[in-house]
Amino acid sequence: MNPLRNPWVVGVLAVVAVIVVARQVMTGGRSGGATVASTTQPSTPVADASAPAPAPDSTPAKPAPEKSAPLSIDSNYTAQHYADWAGAPRRDPFLKLLPGPEKTEKPIASLKLQAIWRQTGSSLAVINHGVYAEGDTVEGYKVEKIEDDQVWLQGSDQKERLGFAGDQPDAPAAPAPSPSVSRQ
């Protein structure tokens, strides 16, 4: 049997909760068993009359910071940066910014896959006259995986496929030359 289904148990718990809340309100939120730390200054030691007096220091003594003092605003920092803050353009902080116009040509279009070497344990790819292995970086793209006929590159936002020039989907297809036979 679940005790929370018993109306007597629920009633007793409700009364205890009301008493605890009332006690917190009456005592100002402090628990009864906690002690409040004293904020008195520590006593200064009494100087021995037979000891020589220390020489007066010409530098002004910095007052010790109080541990219970609230944090203050750095007025120098505020004064230095106020002009930038006041001159900033006003905008709605809740305004959803839409992405800019889509770029028509991707930077990966400048990369050209020229060859792939498959070896035992590793693969190499020739991209723009450079030899790269998996994990290398070429023009801001990380070589993720080298397959038999393509290379997968990880860009800043998504993975990109780099294939040979003949099977690139984005590359325009070159017209096939018409067979011309000339007999003389």
Cα–Cα distance measured from residue 183 to residue 22, given in angstroms and rounded to the nearest whole number: 111
Among the residue ranges 8-12, 78-82, 97-101, 169-173, the one predicted with the least confidence is 169-173
**Cβ neighbours for 167, distance < 8 A, ≥ 6 positions apart:** 149, 150
- Across-strand partners of 151? 146, 162
- Domain assignment of residue 113, yes or no: yes
Which of 35-44's residues contact partners 24+ apart within 8 Å by CB, and which partners? 39/68
Say if CB 127 and CB 162 are below 8 A apart: yes
**Structural element, H or E, at residue 115:** strand 113-119
Kindly report the CATH number assigned to the domain that includes residue 160.
2.30.30.830
pLDDT of residue 19: 94
pTM over 0.85: no
Cα–Cα distance measured from residue 146 to residue 134, given in angstroms and rounded to the nearest whole number: 7
Number of separate domains in the chain: 2
pLDDT of residue 171: 44
pLDDT of residue 68: 57
- Domain assignment of residue 150, yes or no: yes
Length of the chain: 184
Confidence of residue 40 (pLDDT cuts 50, 70, 90): very low
- In tens, the pLDDT along 112-168 reads 888 898 888 888 999 888 899 999 998 888 999 988 888 999 887 888 888 887 655
- Domain assignment of residue 80, yes or no: no
- In tens, the pLDDT along 50-106 reads 555 555 555 556 666 556 556 677 888 888 888 888 877 777 777 777 776 665 556
Domain extent at residue 125:
109-167
Cα–Cα distance measured from residue 127 to residue 107, given in angstroms and rounded to the nearest whole number: 14
The DSSP call for residue 164 is: B
Q: State the virtual CA torsion across 28, 30, 33, 36 in degrees, nearest 10.
A: -110
Say if CB 156 and CB 149 are below 8 A apart: no
- Domain assignment of residue 160, yes or no: yes
pLDDT of residue 109: 78
- Domain assignment of residue 124, yes or no: yes
- Domain assignment of residue 2, yes or no: yes
- Domain assignment of residue 136, yes or no: yes
